[in-house]
Structure 1
Amino acid sequence: MSEPATAVFAPPDLPAWIRQIVDGFNSQAHTQFILSGNIHDTFPVRANGQATFGTLSEFLQDTIIPRYQVVLTYDIGNGLRVERGGDIFGRWQEKLDAASRAPRTAIELITHYLRFVANLARLGQPRTRVGVILKDAQLFAPDDDPRLETHALAFLIREWTREPALVQHDIVSFVLTENFNELHPLLRQNPLAAHVTVPLPTVAELCETLARARAAHPVALGGGDLEDLSRQLAGISRSGLMNLLKLKEHRREALATGDITPLKAQLIEQECPGLIEFLAPKLTLDAVHGQDALKRHLRQNLALWRAGQLDLLPMGYLICGPVGTGKTFLVRCLAGEAGVPVVVLRNFRDKWYGSTEGNLERIFRTLKALGRCYVFVDEADQTLGRRGGTGGEPEVSGRIYSMIAQEMSNPDNRGRIVWILATSRPDRVEVDLKRPGRVDFKVPLFPTTTPEEGFQLLQAIARHRRVELPGASFGELKDRIPDLLTPGEVEALVTELRRRLATEPGSAVEVLQKLLANYLKPVPVEILLEQVRLAVRECSQAEFIPPRFRDLAG
């Protein structure tokens, strides 16, 4: 790549990922780029002088290598194709045969051609600049294929960055893979290849997409504020956005602000099938019974968040406490108070080698594009597991653990992505994941500690279910109110109370007295107390621990 004519002249305000390619390309530091991430999206290109959208392959040809005379592409469906310079390539091989569809044959053919043009240039013949684009390379050069043929194929692709004759010639290659960790290690670990992550579009890029699409979708976009719509749509791909606009235009419906949250959640869940789920933030911390000191602290953090003092916010929370104490409910309420989405990590683990890492890559790039959000990991002791799990505990590989730990402690995420781990067994969560810098604040939730607290919890949940327990009835119920009540337990109690009120005579207080007379706790008290002890020992601040349990902190 020695001729200045091959340089890309690009404006300084390019997105960082494109700038990375341009700088590596123009400096001649790299001749091969591995592009992972949002590679199946659409990108702005020009066709016949008109601004439109095309594939990543078309974008690279249009933006990075517009002056390369020959461009070859390969994928397992279409085989080897000559996208540009067919007449030049035809002087070497007039017609591609069916064998060029096979990965090994195609890569060998490309390698022979690259050596051919490089040798011609060394003999003083005119230089032919060649670009190669390998699409979905993980399908023919995967991480987990032990066959010699696959190793040989990956070796040849790597050689494009190592053979002096090829490196000194005007040859550039792009290896496209959705998930970097699914690519063959010979390619993934090649220090001469630059790894570039293609992110989901930014708010500004979504706004530009909407502006381009407005003429073709006048009803869907109407007179809406494009900047506001773009902010609310952050986290979706351009292709997902265009599909949404087409559907709205077909139905003759405007894309209204109130529609965006459920539509966006649906689109993102479709793009990450089975990996994440959105919780709609409908409640606020007012719905949390008691916990006044904790709610005050959380609201202080939210005020700092809104004020932009992101350096004062925790990277993550650990919510622990006995089963049924409302850990998931607290997260829903916290998200509603903050007005941001809650992304629940679901089944990101896969039995196939390398697939779990690929799933995590997809999840992490979605989180980055969302802007501010909470990432909720329920049953964190089971979901995250432990390195080399023992005693029946779920095991997690070192690579997976490292990816999660690195993302949780990424300082660029502070104030943007807040991790929330919930568990009744915090002792089974890896210590490194709970350390400051990943989890800065540990929140304990406890069962009731007095009959008064138990009655207030019963009263609050019963009222929510349209059953009134007068305050004066506390004296009649006091001796029968179970110790160590949890919100989950009381929900079940109130449901049974409502069932009996529908089938038996008597007032709510009378029926509740009968119900409590023969009541047995669903979780043994010794298990509850052990989980209380674990929560006390994890707690960040003593003010959150009821006086009854403070002796357990030792």
Structure 2
Amino acid sequence: MSTIDAPKYEFFSQLARIINSGQARSIVLSGNVNDLFFNGESYVPLVPFLLRKTSVSGLIQVVYELNGPVRLGGEDQAKLREAWAAWKTGLDINALAIKELGSDSSKIDLRRREFDQYLRDAIGNATQALEFLRQLSICSRVALRENLLIFIEAADMLLPSGDESISRMNDSQLRRIAIVTDWFSDPDFFSGKDTVCLITESRSQIHSRIARLPQVLGVEAPAPDTATRAHFVAWNQAQPAAAAIPVPEDSTTSQLDAPEPASQLDALAESTAGLTIHALRQLLLASAYNHRPVSRDDVVRQVEQFIQTQLGEDVVEFKKPTHTLKDVIGNAGLKKFLAETMLPRLALPDDRALPGAAVAGPIGGGKTFIFEAVAAELDMPVLVLKSIRSQWFGQTDVIFERLRRVLEALEKVVIFVDEADTQFGGVGEGAHETERRLTGKIQGMMSDTALRGKVIWLLMTARIHLLSPDIRRPGRVGDLIIPVLDPVGQDRRDFIQWMLKPAGEAGADLLQWLDQEGLAADFSAAGFAALRSQIKAI
């Protein structure tokens, strides 16, 4: 483990720069916020990680979560209690001890008890807790030497976006939104030294009246990269209770003669792309319990299960096509083009790679079957995108953000979209706002240079004219539009021979008649498959 550097969390560096520069005093921290992070000694949840990293003199850390208390360190709580008493009584905090000896003693003691009562009342009363925190920031500016750093967990549950309609919110929700809006919009607050950090998986889950304030900045925690996963595996190996670190059983690692531990760690870290530290930990614990190394199938199964859990089974599906281009009937010219031109371009690891392709052709032409074979030839994870729209307001944006984090974490992936014209709408005036926003984000992801060579988009459609022109443009799938038409000529005869094969010698004399008279000129690949099935059933 000594040779593996500790993870470098760029999102924390960005957060620290915003706080130190005073660029913003209200921040939304989103993304991979439910994972584990290395604090220098062990892997811990996000808030303990942040508390450890921001533990510096002159800064008082405050943590609040729904149905929980306002958490403060013992010394910090005493400092805040004294500052509260000084602020409420109008006394100088430096003179508080002297004033307490005189006639102001009862007033000072009353304000101290008031502070303690507010701390107790905050438990189970989110509205009062937020107002108390707002009052603390005012108190800090007036009477406290230190600055406050306030972390509010599960901010989406405290300030939910809902359907964005104020009229449908209850009084408590309205008041909480009003409190935080007034708090963040106060010039004395955003020009002061105290900072509030709202923690949520997605910024879109927080009510737009807060999330869209210009003085609120966002920081996103990405999924762990290969170096972070390698560090966790090495750290886990060094723990007394940890079993030997397993190695994925693939063609690369299984042929190594007594591989060095570093090679084992690298192999496991690379093969688990797409997993969070939590999911990787589960994989290692299961392996240690079963006293056996993790196989390639174990890794693939864990990645698939994790991603489907994150996105939902109705959103994505993993496919493992077993047929290759050799199994595709007919389409000789297309297969040659795919093997010699398209596949080499798709396999490139950098910006020389194609972003993907649009595949057009009549229904039943074999588009899906052919390009499933292409995906199998690439030997990459195949993610079938079913639908990323949600019936719940705001969830579509959340699903998209999860999808993007997954794609950025995977080393290489094929996104397979069937009936793409119905999956992706337009951006015109007739489209719903959510539809326009979703389509715009998908288009941006297709042309994102950071994803070039990592994400391959294969869009199937029988109605390519209904696909957004922005999606069809060069730089996205418009770089390559492939027609898959009904078979003609030798391709058609190949299909007829394949169709008649189950009939044996009885079908040998039917080839020419079926080609010239028996079957329509536009007979589709799906039609040939259906007839073959009938012949096999006879």
TM-score (norm 2): 0.80
What is residue 26 of structure 2 aligned with on the other side?
32
CA RMSD of aligned residues (A): 3.0
Map 1:143-154; keep pairs closer than 5 Å. 143=161, 144-145=163-164, 146=166, 147=169, 149-154=172-177
Q: When the two structures are aligned, how many residues end up with a matched partner?
A: 476
CA distance in 2: counterparts of 1:167 and 1:477, whole angstroms: 79
CA distance in 2: counterparts of 1:14 and 1:255, whole angstroms: 27
What is residue 94 of structure 2 aligned with on the other side?
none
Taking CA–CA contacts closer than 8 Å with sequence separation of 6 or more, which of the two structures ends up with the larger relative contact order?
A: 2
Q: Is 1:242 matched with 2:260?
A: no
Residue among 156, 159, 163 paired with 1:141: 159
What is residue 218 of structure 1 aligned with on the other side?
243
Relative distance call for 1:156 and 1:325 in structure 2 (3 A) is same
CA offset at residue 206 of structure 1? Answer: 0.8
Relative distance call for 1:291 and 1:69 in structure 2 (3 A) is same
What is residue 116 of structure 2 aligned with on the other side?
94
What is residue 42 of structure 2 aligned with on the other side?
52
CA offset at residue 203 of structure 1? Answer: 0.9
What is residue 251 of structure 2 aligned with on the other side?
none
CA offset at residue 291 of structure 1? Answer: 3.0
CA distance in 2: counterparts of 1:305 and 1:128, whole angstroms: 56
Relative distance call for 1:12 and 1:242 in structure 2 (3 A) is closer
| Matched AA of 1:286 | K
Determine if contact 1:43/1:53 at 8 Å carries over to the other structure.
Answer: yes
CA distance in 2: counterparts of 1:475 and 1:461, whole angstroms: 13
Once the two structures are superposed, what CA deviation does each residue of 1:85-140 show, in whole Å capped at 9, x if it has no partner? 3333444422422454322211101001111121104xxxxx12321111121122
Residue among 189, 196, 207 paired with 2:212: 189
Relative distance call for 1:347 and 1:306 in structure 2 (3 A) is closer
Relative distance call for 1:290 and 1:15 in structure 2 (3 A) is farther
CA distance in 2: counterparts of 1:194 and 1:467, whole angstroms: 71
CA distance in 1: counterparts of 2:204 and 2:282, whole angstroms: 29
Gaps of 5+ in 1: 1-10, 122-126, 501-554
Map 1:113-124; keep pairs closer than 5 Å. 113-121=136-144
Map 1:55-454; keep pairs closer than 5 Å. 55-67=45-57, 69-82=59-72, 85-91=76-82, 92=84, 93-95=115-117, 96-121=119-144, 127-143=145-161, 144-145=163-164, 146=166, 147=169, 149-167=172-190, 169-215=192-238, 216-219=241-244, 221=246, 225-274=264-313, 275-299=315-339, 300-308=341-349, 310-387=350-427, 397-439=435-477, 440-450=479-489, 452-454=490-492
Determine if contact 2:121/2:129 at 8 Å carries over to the other structure.
Answer: no
Relative distance call for 1:83 and 1:346 in structure 2 (3 A) is farther
CA offset at residue 394 of structure 1? Answer: 9.5
Q: What SS does the aligned partner of 1:386 have? A: coil
Q: What SS does the aligned partner of 2:351 have? A: helix
Q: What SS does the aligned partner of 1:196 have? A: strand
| Matched AA of 1:196 | V
Determine if contact 1:385/1:396 at 8 Å carries over to the other structure.
Answer: no
CA distance in 1: counterparts of 2:442 and 2:411, whole angstroms: 19
What is residue 105 of structure 2 aligned with on the other side?
none
Relative distance call for 1:417 and 1:68 in structure 2 (3 A) is farther
| Matched AA of 1:325 | G
Relative distance call for 1:166 and 1:254 in structure 2 (3 A) is same
CA offset at residue 78 of structure 1? Answer: 2.3
| Matched AA of 1:184 | H
Q: What SS does the aligned partner of 1:101 have? A: coil
| Matched AA of 2:511 | F
Determine if contact 1:73/1:80 at 8 Å carries over to the other structure.
Answer: yes
CA distance in 1: counterparts of 2:378 and 2:21, whole angstroms: 45
Q: What SS does the aligned partner of 2:135 have? A: helix
Percent identity of paired positions between Structure 1 and Structure 2: 24
What is residue 96 of structure 2 aligned with on the other side?
none
Once the two structures are superposed, what CA deviation does each residue of 1:359-397 show, in whole Å capped at 9, x if it has no partner? 11111111111122121221112111334697xx99963
CA distance in 2: counterparts of 1:164 and 1:457, whole angstroms: 74
**73-82 or 467-476, which moves further after superposition?**
467-476
| Matched AA of 1:438 | R
CA distance in 1: counterparts of 2:206 and 2:505, whole angstroms: 61
CA distance in 1: counterparts of 2:462 and 2:37, whole angstroms: 45
Once the two structures are superposed, what CA deviation does each residue of 1:423-461 show, in whole Å capped at 9, x if it has no partner? 1111222222212222221111111124x4333124346
CA distance in 1: counterparts of 2:43 and 2:355, whole angstroms: 37
CA distance in 2: counterparts of 1:242 and 1:469, whole angstroms: 60
What is residue 14 of structure 1 aligned with on the other side?
8
Gaps of 5+ in 2: 85-114, 248-260
Relative distance call for 1:251 and 1:12 in structure 2 (3 A) is closer
TM-score (norm 1): 0.78
Once the two structures are superposed, what CA deviation does each residue of 1:321-366 show, in whole Å capped at 9, x if it has no partner? 1111222222321111112111111232112221111111111111
CA distance in 1: counterparts of 2:330 and 2:73, whole angstroms: 66
